[in-house]
Amino acid sequence: MDYEKLLSRTAADIPPSGIRKFFDYLETMPDAISLGVGEPDYQTPWHIREAGIYSLTKGFTKYTGNAGLTELRREICRYLARRFDLDGYDWKSETIVTVGGSEAIDLALRALINPGDEVIVPEPSFVCYSPIARLAGGVPVAVATKAENRFKLTADELRAAITPRTKALVLPFPNNPTGAIMERGDLEAIAGVLRGTGIFVISDEIYAELTYGKRHVSIASLEGMRERTVVIGGFSKAYSMTGWRLGYAAGPEPLIKVMTKIHQYAIMCAPTTSQYAAIEAMRAGDEDIEAMREDYGYRRRYILKRFRDLGLDCFEAEGAFYVFPCIRSTGLSSEEFAEKLLVAEHVAVVPGNAFGASGEGFIRCCYAASIKNIDEALDRIGRFLDTRTKEE
């Protein structure tokens, strides 16, 4: 069999994630500390797990409707209104429950893209947007956000990227990996560029609950933007439910209808047990969110201070659970830094360029870790920097 010929050209040509080798290596080090993985370190709160278990004891093990349980979709609408002023989504026609936020991103891109359509993707950002856009026949257009703008997307940057072929803008804020957020004013500027165009916004708000000091604002809550935005959210980050694989999208009926059609053929429905657990999360989980956010907040301040004390430039990340220190002063590339640090001190971080070329010169550190581990990791990073200075 000639597999080169067999495989889809588009799929085969997508570059693999360069991170795998780090984590394979990491697994061989028992004393390793990882600030690498983008995952909460909390267990899913017990009352949520218990609701999932209870649904199993009741025998709720069948498919649900394609778009998800009625009760869950109603709760999603209440939640969006309660927490982000996104009022009045119709659960029946404007929401869909998906397998993680990731599936919602996939569905939205597939539902929107015609061959050759351009999708603007601010970078550094989560790794999935460009590959999925390509698989859907689209052309991803990377826009580099800048440290001096606190890694926000500016109206000028957006304007410069728009062409007659632009179909959609991915808006990934609060941002993985930079921790950047878009405030109301920042979003107004973006909305100002988009209103009156045919460009649609895929707003990936998976980290919406994790902002520190300032409440997350959804672009869909701005005047005239709801009709041109699909809001994507999920349970993984807010409720520490990564393994449950559950997310959702809320947006205009015609888009949700097509997304649901793709979902119906490709996925059928999101996992039933997870959906029951998610109803409990949305009904009784606000306090869990606050407690986790408070804790992340302490760790955020702590890791920022430690990085700055080490003399690394680190902008004040206000969202998600990442900091994105600049390592240019070491004279190393992001990958060299991450690799040498792992070999020398057994600390895993992710090179910034894994999230787009504009991430070069930075590393992503996840602070969803205990203060003890953050402390130990930063001690080791300090030692690593010292040794390098001495060698020079």
Partner 1 sequence: MENILKLLERDARLTNSQLAAMLGTDEETVAQEIKRLENDHVILGYKTLIDWEKTDKEVVTAIIEVRVTPQRGEGFEKVAERIYQFEEVESLYLMSGGFDLAVFIVGRTMREVALFVATKLAPVEGVASTATHFILKKYKESGVFFETEPEEQERGYLL
Site for partner 1, rule CB under 8 A:
17, 19, 23, 26, 34, 36-39, 126-127, 176, 298-299, 301-302, 305-306, 350, 354-355, 371, 375
Q: Which is nearer to partner 1, 159 or 301 (CB)?
A: 301
Q: Taking the complex as a whole, how short is the minimal distance between the CB of residue 382 and partner 1, in angstroms? A: 14
Q: Taking the complex as a whole, how short is the minimal distance between the CB of residue 166 and partner 1, in angstroms? A: 26
Q: Taking the complex as a whole, how short is the minimal distance between the CB of residue 109 and partner 1, in angstroms? A: 18
Q: Which is nearer to partner 1, 23 or 54 (CB)?
A: 23
Q: Taking the complex as a whole, how short is the minimal distance between the CB of residue 303 and partner 1, in angstroms? A: 9
Q: Taking the complex as a whole, how short is the minimal distance between the CB of residue 127 and partner 1, in angstroms? A: 6
Q: Which is nearer to partner 1, 191 or 303 (CB)?
A: 303
Q: Taking the complex as a whole, how short is the minimal distance between the CB of residue 124 and partner 1, in angstroms? A: 11
Between the alpha carbon of residue 22 and those of residues 18, 163, 355, the distances in Å are: 8, 38, 15
Q: Which is nearer to partner 1, 176 or 218 (CB)?
A: 176
Token pair of 160 as six digits: 């410069």
Q: Which is nearer to partner 1, 355 or 362 (CB)?
A: 355
Query: Which DSSP letter does residue 136 get?
Result: T
Dihedral of alpha carbons 334, 340, 343, 348, sign? negative
Q: Which is nearer to partner 1, 39 or 183 (CB)?
A: 39
- The DSSP secondary structure of 234-258, one letter per residue, reads ESTTTTT-GGG--EEEE--HHHHHH
- In the chain, which residue ranges form alpha helices assigned H by DSSP? 3-6, 9-13, 20-26, 46-57, 70-84, 91-94, 100-112, 129-135, 155-161, 184-194, 253-266, 272-284, 286-309, 334-345, 371-391
Rounded to whole angstroms, the Cα distance separating 301 from 157 reads 30
Cβ partners under 8 Å of residue 145, min gap 6: 122, 123, 124, 151, 152, 153, 154, 157, 178, 180, 358
Q: Which is nearer to partner 1, 239 or 322 (CB)?
A: 322
Q: Taking the complex as a whole, how short is the minimal distance between the CB of residue 4 and partner 1, in angstroms? A: 28
